[in-house]
Structure 1
Amino acid sequence: MNQKKIKRRLFPLLLFFIVFFPLLSFGQAEKARFLDKWSIGGGYNFLHRSKRPFDESTIELSVKYRLTNRHSFYLTFPLYFENHKREQGDFQLVVFDDPWLYRIWGTALGYNYTVFGRKGFSVFIGIGFDFKRNYRQYKDYHYVDDNQENKIEDHDLREYQNNAYGVSPQAGLSYRYGHLGCDLKYTFSAMLDMYKQDIILSNGDRYHADLNPRFDKYIKSYRSLHGLSLSLFYYF
């Protein structure tokens, strides 16, 4: 299944969650203002993996919508950015394995059900649909031997892209006091990873690395991600 087909199949699901479920709130027995059902927050997700591309801890921006006291929906945006600025003459820092530019972004849409709640504390379980994108850029330096001294002559850029789609079961604890709240959530994500490598030569030409006989396709693999996130929320 290629990337376009996956996007076409995910779009109706996203539309269903975003449009249909909020409409159900009108007609509930609870006479609360529409704004009172929303909350916004930010947090930090600790990801534990042994290798890239999604092993970095990300900042998370979140929006939650409470349909009832037990049913809620969320939309989360993970973000990570890293940019190494090096001087060309510092040869100790010129290492191919260290990225020059590295970023992660994505979105997660899901549903949570409150299993137990008392005095501001609650235990919840849920399921989410995730999309993550990883982009890494490396400088591949060219050296010239000048009187037995290695000097940088030029460099190419290597780009790596990973687009991952997946389903994420989760469980967590929540505490709310007035308009403020805190969530601690564990997430397990089973994801389809679509990978591609490009090389940009110093003269500006671009070509796909010989990783797949069909260069217009991403290489597909499966991976799992474990996340533990701590988030603070403001409830309207």
Structure 2
Amino acid sequence: MDLFKSWLVETPIAHRGYHNKNIPENSIAAFEKAIEKGYAIELDVQLLADNTVVVFHDESLARMTGNDGYLKYLNKPDLKALKLKDSKETIPTLEQVLKVVDGRVPLLIEIKNKYKVGQLEQALINILRKYKGEFAVQSFNPFSLGYFRENAPEILRGQLAGTFKTEKMSWIRKYMLRTMKLNKKVSQPHFISYEASALPNRTVRKYKSLPLLAWTIRSKEEYIKVVKHCDNIIFEKFDPEI
């Protein structure tokens, strides 16, 4: 497959679905709206205490639900009581999302895992192998992608990276992740997703044989600045042309 002629390059990708002040991010409504507009969908996945894969970005529940606590301690039945922002939307499971999308647009699935790899990754593989639509996975964690490389090499995988300026981690870890030093031995990605504000740079130039996605573009002005330095964008808050 020539990825430069695939959806990864040809279809703008809506960050956490097509959300706005009335439609919460990573919700069924946001995904339906992205489908309506013809955009691919980026979404985040995490694991609940009962091994359910859900679509949610934060570790904490506070920002999106107003509740104290952390997602990882929930079980599937708990989701019904948690509304996203001021909407009727609830935290969806990945399987619910896949049933709704049903191959109508491609999916870019970000694996949210800073810790030990294996449990989330295998649960995700088990679900995705049953799905017939187009999709790819991506992660900041090269070891998550390494798990996919070893256990599901047929699934497209992308290395996420950026400056990590606001992240609380050691300088050596920031350096290794920013420069993608583990790409060759661990993740061996099929594409790169890099922070738009840091493009262009010497690191990504080394991977010119791979498609480059820029994240996250939030205006037409940002899009105009970065489009010549990437192959596609992950966007929100404006409508790029298809």
Instruction: State TM-score, norm by structure 2.
Output: 0.23
**Pair member with larger Rg:** 1
Higher helix residue share:
2
Higher strand residue share:
1
